[in-house]
Amino acid sequence: MKKYQQIKKDTIQSPTKLNKKKYSSTDRVMDNVPYPPTHLLTIKEIFGTSDKPNLPLLLQHLEAEGRLELDAALTIMIRGRELTAREPNMLEIGTPITIVGDIHGQFFDMLKMFEKGGDVSSNQYLFLGDYVDRGQFSVEVVLYLWAIKIAYPDTFFLLRGNHECRNLTVYFTFKDECLLKLGDVFYDECMKSFDCLPIAALVQGQLFCIHGCISPELRHLREITDLHRAVEPPTKGPLCDILWADPTDSYDNEKLEQKYEMYTHNGPRGCSYNVSYKAMCKFLDDNDLLCVIRAHQVQSAGCKMYKKHEKTLFPTLVTIFSAPNYCEVYKNRGAILRYDGSVMHVFQYKWVKHPYVLPNFLDAFRWSIPFVLEKVTDMLLAVLKYCSDENDSRLSKRTQIIEKIVHYYASLSDEAEQSLVFGNILPPTNVRTSDSSRVVNKGQIDFQTAQRMDYANEHIPYNQFRRK
């Protein structure tokens, strides 16, 4: 054994000498950041003696990161569900109207969107789905939108997106967020509410609005009324296509006279179809429509207008995406559409600051555990190496085991650091590509890079992997 070196006492500094500044255990270091409200809003406070919710009070409370009593949150979801359950599969709506794309739990960006679109009391709104997952404030988004639906049931409309289901909310973040903020009873009620959402809307008899895209199994709009929507979305069939389909990558370069498949398998999604320009033109002609409005795909400018119809000279397809700086890394703009019956206006907006939340809703202590364990095992390894004899096989084996543990905790620490930089676009480690790993190491990201890194998350999950 090697002899330990004697350490002089005067070389050891006490913690008080290393850090002279002391903090009170009750005072906040960042005293300019207000405390979230500790009071839980009650049913009586939200509704009073009326059937309509007090929207200004609810908004003020949610904006300050306040929470609701479980009964109050359930009441909002149940009353909203009762309204949407009575609506048909395809809504028929007049103009003027503001059409909104994906929100994805970005509550504070959604409030910015309402500033652009106008007050809900005097403006008609149609949302195309994907209210939850990926962002950190999905519960707030759902509660506020459902409350608006209760307040203005005839002018505020909500469609279902592909994320409004059990499969994706378990795979991504919404279920975890519900369990943290309100519990599993609230999550179950949200799933019931999502099942009751309409799946399509026809605006002024001209614009067909859905979340995903059209289906080869739906040739005429009237066939939508025959679909049974109050189910967990299947992985094939017309309901799946309405929620999951996309236009082809070559959509804008296709010509009607060319021979090609009108519907091809949607590989990146793992289900449904890619819809061609030819298929879209046929669908519009058969149903006497002007355009299809959809969401479902992030756009750098927030909106994309596709190739025009040869007869109407109007875009055959428009994609609208309303979550700016998607997943905290895309740096895209959000956008909404305003249609008055003859002219279509696009309003863009940038993201806003919001309260900081650690990935996967971890607290600072749990997030720090991998770093602490890495340093502790690293210290243990250093002690073993210092004390061990090269001829001592038992200590040598133990040292090798500790080295593996150190490497494991180091990888967990790296992932924790990466999650701060890249948000939740990183796919699960076991399906991460070499391309995403290189980008993580460089620490650089732009819109195209974010799309490549997020590619695995676009695929329909079969719950063999859990995003953690």
The string of pLDDT tens digits covering residues 275-305 is: 999 999 999 999 999 999 999 999 999 999 9
User: 241 and 364: one domain?
Assistant: no
Last residue in a domain, options 317, 349, 381: 349
Alpha-carbon distance of 14 to 286, in angstroms, equals: 81
pLDDT at 462: 74
Alpha-carbon distance of 319 to 345, in angstroms, equals: 13
Alpha-carbon distance of 329 to 421, in angstroms, equals: 8
Alpha-carbon distance of 190 to 206, in angstroms, equals: 32
pLDDT higher for 29 or 321? 321
Is 44 within the bounds of a domain? no
User: 386 and 448: one domain?
Assistant: yes
pLDDT higher for 378 or 159? 159
Q: Is the pLDDT of residue 18 over 70?
A: no
Alpha-carbon distance of 40 to 62, in angstroms, equals: 10
User: 336 and 367: one domain?
Assistant: no
pLDDT at 4: 42
Contact 182, 138 (CB under 8 A): no
pLDDT at 167: 96
User: 281 and 395: one domain?
Assistant: no
State the CATH number of the domain containing residue 92: 3.60.21.10
Last residue in a domain, options 349, 378, 407: 349
Per DSSP, the three-state class of 292 is strand
pLDDT at 256: 84
Q: Is the pLDDT of residue 34 over 50?
A: yes
Average pLDDT rounded to a whole number, residues 94-107: 98
Amino acid at 424: N
Q: Give the number of domains in the chain.
A: 2
Q: Rounded to 5 degrees, what are φ and ψ at 298?
A: -65, 140
Annotation marks residue 163 as catalytic: yes
Residue 338's DSSP bridge partners are 98, 345
**How many CB atoms lie under 10 A from the CB of residue 47?**
18
pLDDT at 426: 63
Alpha-carbon distance of 352 to 19, in angstroms, equals: 36
Contact 377, 406 (CB under 8 A): yes
pLDDT at 417: 67
Is 466 within the bounds of a domain? no
User: 298 and 213: one domain?
Assistant: yes
Last residue in a domain, options 299, 325, 349: 349
The string of pLDDT tens digits covering residues 375-408 is: 777 777 777 676 666 656 666 676 777 777 777 7
pLDDT higher for 372 or 43? 43
User: 137 and 250: one domain?
Assistant: yes
Lowest mean pLDDT among 27-31, 277-281, 322-326, 435-439: 435-439
User: 282 and 228: one domain?
Assistant: yes
Is 49 within the bounds of a domain? no
> What band does 23 get if pLDDT is binned at 50, 70 and 90?
low
Average pLDDT rounded to a whole number, residues 75-89: 98
Is 92 within the bounds of a domain? yes
pLDDT at 3: 46
User: 378 and 310: one domain?
Assistant: no
Q: Is the pLDDT of residue 356 over 90?
A: no
User: 192 and 90: one domain?
Assistant: yes
> How much is the mean pLDDT over the chain?
87
β pairing state of 207-209 and 200-203: antiparallel
Helix spans in 7-137 (H): 15-18, 43-47, 55-63, 70-85, 107-117
User: 169 and 311: one domain?
Assistant: yes
Is 328 within the bounds of a domain? yes
Element (H, E) at 400: helix 393-422
Residue 244 belongs to domain spanning: 70-349
Catalytic residue among 39, 61, 104, 163: 163
| Proportion of the chain above pLDDT 90, given as a percent | 68
User: 222 and 363: one domain?
Assistant: no
Q: Is the pLDDT of residue 47 over 60?
A: yes
The string of pLDDT tens digits covering residues 210-251 is: 999 999 999 999 999 999 999 999 999 999 999 999 999 999
Question: Tokens standing for 183?
Answer: 């519990």
Element (H, E) at 378: helix 364-387
Per DSSP, the three-state class of 410 is helix
CB within 8 Å of 80: residues ≥ 6 apart: 146, 147, 149, 150, 193
Is 395 within the bounds of a domain? yes
pLDDT at 466: 46
pLDDT at 17: 53
Q: Is the pLDDT of residue 344 over 60?
A: yes
Average pLDDT rounded to a whole number, residues 456-468: 70
Alpha-carbon distance of 158 to 108, in angstroms, equals: 19
Alpha-carbon distance of 367 to 284, in angstroms, equals: 51
Alpha carbons within 13 angstroms on the beta-carbon side of residue 383 total 7
The string of pLDDT tens digits covering residues 131-152 is: 999 999 999 999 999 999 999 9
pLDDT higher for 17 or 123? 123
User: 242 and 303: one domain?
Assistant: yes
Q: Rounded to 5 degrees, what angle do the CA atoms 359, 362, 368 make?
A: 100
> What band does 1 get if pLDDT is binned at 50, 70 and 90?
very low
Is 155 within the bounds of a domain? yes
| Proportion of the chain above pLDDT 70, given as a percent | 82
The string of pLDDT tens digits covering residues 408-460 is: 767 766 666 666 666 667 655 544 444 545 555 555 678 998 999 899 999 99
* CA nearest to 293, candidates 204, 193, 163: 204
Element (H, E) at 447: helix 447-453
Angle in degrees, 0-180, between the axes of helices 107-117 and 138-151, rounded to the nearest 10:
40
Is 19 within the bounds of a domain? no
Question: Tokens standing for 347?
Answer: 């309003």
User: Quick one: DSSP state of residue 199?
Assistant: -
Q: What is the pTM of this model?
A: 0.85
